Amino acid sequence: MVGYRIESDVLGKVKVPKEAYYGPETQRTINNFNISGTRVPIEIFHTYAMLKKAAAMANWKDGKLDNKRATAIARACDEVLSHKLDEEFQIDVFQAGAGTCTNMNVNEVVANKAIELLGGKKGEYSIVHPNDHVNMSQSTNDTMPSVARIAIYLAIRDCLLPSLKKLEKSLERKSVEFRNIVKVGRTHMQDAVPVTLEQEFSGYRWAVSNSMRMLSDAQKRLLSLPLGGTAVGNGINADRRYERFAIEELNRMTGERFRVSGNKFVVMQQRLEELGVSDALKEVATAINKIANDIRLLSSGPRSAIGEIALPEVMPGSSIMPGKINPSMAEMINMVCQKVIGSCTTVTEAANGGQLEINVYTPIIVYEILYSIRILSNGSSTFADRCISGITANRSKISKELDMDLSLATALNQYIGYSKASYIARRALRENKSVKQVCIELGVLDRKALDRILDPDREARRT
């Protein structure tokens, strides 16, 4: 049977599970906000632990926190960072605004662990206090935006960009593999002048590459932190030495170059940099979604549609149609991209909803962005490994379609004019003949000239 201890806060007494490292404010959060069953992402708490450790070291260097408490807080933060206390962070994504619940969850867990490390019992806050010591020189209003930026930056660096690079390389390898395959191009879902399969896949590769550049540019804007701004940006209860020391510690831990914002007020009032990242994620998702849609079309069939490429067979496709195989990985990444695009709308609305000195919707902003990063990272890597890397070309189907491509008549424009070339194309369609056959029948140019002009490879490689 679970025992309890009684703790108190400004609202009175609270029953907290005896073995829990969290305290009364976390317990009230658990009681009040049983909304979605979705917890705040654990990386937020791990990033908060980095910040609390950096703050403790900074406050010690600044002479505001004694060595014994600073060391205990730092050791407690290391416990959080080692995943040993993950179950202490149970609060719902949908909580009181600004992230006070999240910040206090960390403050209480770190404080009680530090108390224990110093030989005390949970709840003996005279030894280490969640607000007075763990939260020293800080406010939720400057730490939550700082944590959000650090967590998003690191997630992009460590997860999303490597996954997108893998997808880009996979598309590049396919582009090289398909360089000698000329096929019918398509515009408006109708036959168009020839392209190579290499050219199509090079477009896909560059779409990913270009969106990665936009994402990297947006990521760099997250390096500016409002740390030290405390409640409203003016730095009450903190000083410049603290913020400098804290940033130095954070950079040592992350290997990055975070810096204190030149104007903390704007960083605390606005979520523009986060919105920029969200927009960049939407661009990434839009690019990948288009690629997946094209791959589904090009592989459609296998007998009654385009069927120019074949995808790796990873899943049975039907519970009733025997042997049916669907483009499951492309469908998966489509859904990932649709969710990311939808999350961008949430971030936009939340960023647009701030009032005066802070934006109280930071918790949902950081959740949506981190969730988008996670699913795009996992989805892109899986799409590369289980779909793109195993695509093969249906050369016989491509060749057959190319022979009958009506748009080859485009190359005749400069020799016989658009109107006559149009007549030839339409007659070829009516009589189910190739453009070259009709040209020969009508005596349009000699065969040698036609062989040169109507060469699909020559048309496809003009660029």
Q: Exposed/middle/buried for 124, CB within 10 Å: 0-12, 13-18, 19+?
A: middle
Distance in angstroms (rounded) separating the CA atoms of residues 56 and 46: 15
Beta bridge pairs of residue 355:
358
The answer to whether residue 129 is catalytic is: no
- For tokens 């288009």, name the residue: 290
If we measure between CA atoms, which residue out of 404, 463, 395 comes closest to residue 438? 404
Cβ-contact 7, 23 below 8 angstroms = yes
Q: Residues 201, 326, 178, CA angle at the centre, nearest 5°?
A: 20
For residue 366, what are the contacts with CB-CB under 8 A and spacing of at least 6?
Answer: 41, 44, 144, 147, 148, 151, 152, 274
The answer to whether residue 319 is catalytic is: no
Tokens of 76: 């407690």
Distance in angstroms (rounded) separating the CA atoms of residues 69 and 71: 5
Q: Select which of 188, 304, 319, 396 is catalytic.
A: 188
In angstroms, what CA-CA distances link 445 with 194, 434, 459? 21, 15, 18
Cβ-contact 195, 185 below 8 angstroms = yes
Distance in angstroms (rounded) separating the CA atoms of residues 378 and 263: 36
Cα–chain-centroid distance for residue 219? 11
Q: Select which of 8, 82, 318, 399 is catalytic.
A: 318
Q: Residues 193, 198, 201, CA angle at the centre, nearest 5°?
A: 100
For residue 461, what are the contacts with CB-CB under 8 A and spacing of at least 6?
Answer: 196
Helical segments of 272-417, H only: 272-298, 328-351, 362-386, 395-403, 413-416
Cβ-contact 241, 62 below 8 angstroms = yes
Query: Beta 392-393 vs 12-17: how paired, if at all?
Result: unpaired
Active site residues: 188, 318
